[in-house]
Chains A and B, each alone.
Chain A
Amino acid sequence: MTPLKVSVAASIASLLLLLVVLELVRGRRLKERYALLWIATGLALLVLSAWRGLLTKVAGWFGVATYPPAILFAVATLFIIAVLLHYSTVLSRLSEHNTLLAQRLALLEQRLDQAVGSTGEAPPPG
């Protein structure tokens, strides 16, 4: 059986995580689409921490009935991996967009320079 202290501490920690995430979303410092995975993490951990019977049952399925809190670690780790992987895809997409923007900007600048040059206007400063 899970020690009561573990359940209480884990519940408080999950609640704190949820509160921080919700506050960040409320303050517009975290976009909803990036908050979803974090909220799922917080909820999953909260349910498993507070519902001691469920944790014991799940621990039984995975053969760690002697120490159910191990499931909390496993779930937390899995969610963190999911969040990181999600961020890697976001980062890849961002860097691709960034490259495209740099290329488009440089092409436009060249076209602008050419247009300015051919109309005989003074080039912009710098």
Chain B
Amino acid sequence: MSYGRVIAVVPAHNEEAAIGGVITEIKAFDSTFDVVVVDDGSVDATSRVAASHGAAVITLPYNLGIGGAVQTGFMYALENGYPTAVRLDGDGQHVAADMGKLLDVLMVGDADIVTGSRFAGADSHRPRLARRIGIVWFASLVSLLTRQRVTDTTSGYQALNRRGIELFARDYPSDYPEVEATVLVYKHRLRMTEVPVRMREREHGSSSITLVRSIYYLFKVTLALCVAMVRRYAVPDEEVKGP
């Protein structure tokens, strides 16, 4: 099946060891897909490795954090007129071969944003208890706030149509943005849905989440969610235009 013009948006921070494999995997899934790697102020060779694998590379002058990097990728997609984007992480945890599952659902046209969920399927991933508490907490909270069942609020594996790209290019939360973004999507009345995907354990480096950080994260994101529910939003579709 052909998906038309698709851009894969890949945020990467110090992922020189993994980024090449991610790009190769995307191209192996569909060689017509364009790839843009957003290098979020890496101090290693991420940009160089990405460019040598044929990706367009946007190198941020300093580390903006995942939200700022992802948003830059969507700005690129918007400016270059892509009707469809897939966002996947630069560390290789998302299985690029699963892009089809996301895109097939997106192409049906009933959703603007399709998220790959680790927990929606039967063959689900089982993280450690501390993480599971956080995951269940956010899944319940977000499901309640958005009046829709969301199982994986922290997944950064998403396929978006033009409306989704426009929204995220204009407005995207900054730290640990995925949870808050679900509320943003709901507030802007975009339609989202989930499909089950597999995720790999991190191949290189280690996850930066420790217990103290997890607790801090839990409070911070909960606060951000409450703010997201009551804050003011710009009117969609009016301000941002491509070239």
Q: Which residues of A contact B (CB under 8 A)?
A: 99, 102-103, 105-107, 109-110, 114
Contact = CB atoms under 8 A, between A and B. Distances in A.
Contacts of A99: 64, 68, 174
Contacts of B57: 110
A50 B206 CA distance: 64
B59 interface: yes
24 contacts: A99-B64, A99-B174, A102-B61, A102-B68, A103-B60, A103-B64, A103-B71, A105-B61, A106-B38, A106-B58, A106-B59, A106-B60, A106-B61, A106-B72, A107-B58, A107-B75, A107-B76, A107-B79, A109-B58, A109-B59, A110-B56, A110-B58, A110-B59, A114-B56
Contacts of B58: 106-107, 109-110
Given A107-B58, A110-B56, A110-B57, A102 B64 contact: yes
Contact of A102 (B56, B60, B79): B60
Grouping DSSP codes into helix (H, G, I), strand (E, B) and loop, the B interface class, with mixed when no group exceeds half, is: mixed
Interface residues of B, number: 16
Nearest to A101: B61
Interface of B: 38, 56-62, 64, 68, 71-72, 75-76, 79, 174
B173 to A, nearest CB: 12
A103 B79 contact: no
A48 B56 CA distance: 64
Nearest to A114: B56
B100 to A, nearest CB: 28
A8 to B, nearest CB: 48
Contact of A110 (B61, B76, B174): B76
Given A103-B64, A110-B59, 10 more contacts: A99-B64, A102-B64, A106-B38, A106-B58, A106-B59, A107-B72, A107-B75, A110-B56, A110-B57, A110-B76
Contacts of B71: 103
A-B pairs with lowest CB-CB distance, top 6: A103-B72, A110-B58, A106-B58, A106-B60, A102-B61, A99-B68
Contacts of A105: 61
A15 B108 CA distance: 71
Nearest to B60: A106
B62 A102 contact: yes
Nearest to B57: A110
B184 to A, nearest CB: 16
B56 A103 contact: no
Contacts of B61: 102, 105-106
B59 A103 contact: no
